């Protein structure tokens, strides 16, 4: 009896390679999540002796954090939607 390995897609999708039995959509979703996780946070402001400057810097920093969170959610949602479209 002869056993032959089924032809793969080259990167292990659906086979026993690096990605195991993940579908293309699952790999895309995983890549989107990795990209979102590796996005750098905005740099924190340094404290000064002036309260007015510190408060202004803090407000700006909080706005930057909110934009970061929004972008993170957009990337993850896009990955999830592509997963559903691809299959």
The pTM of the full predicted model, rounded to 2 decimals, is 0.67
Which pLDDT score is estimated for 2?
A: 57
Cβ–Cβ < 8 Å for 61, 45: yes
Which pLDDT score is estimated for 19?
A: 67
- Statement: residue 17 has pLDDT above 80: no
Cβ contacts of residue 48 below 8 Å, gap of 6+? 54, 57
Cβ-based neighbour number of residue 1 at 10 Å: 2
Q: Which residue has the higher pLDDT, 84 or 61?
A: 61
Task: Report the distance separating Cα 83 and Cα 29, nearest Å.
Answer: 6
In the block, residue with structure tokens 């990337």: 75
Mean pLDDT of 43-48: 92
Task: Report the distance separating Cα 67 and Cα 43, nearest Å.
Answer: 13
Which pLDDT score is estimated for 64?
A: 95
């Amino acid at each position: 009896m002869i056993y032959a390995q089924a032809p793969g897609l080259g990167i292990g999708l659906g086979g026993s390679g690096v990605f195991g039995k993940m579908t293309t959509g699952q790999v895309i979703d995983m890549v989107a999540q990795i990209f979102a996780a590796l996005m750098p946070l905005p740099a924190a402001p340094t404290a000064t002796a002036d309260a007015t400057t510190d408060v202004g810097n803090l407000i700006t920093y909080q706005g930057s954090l909110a934009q970061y969170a929004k972008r993170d959610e957009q990337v993850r949602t896009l990955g999830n939607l592509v997963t559903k479209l691809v299959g």
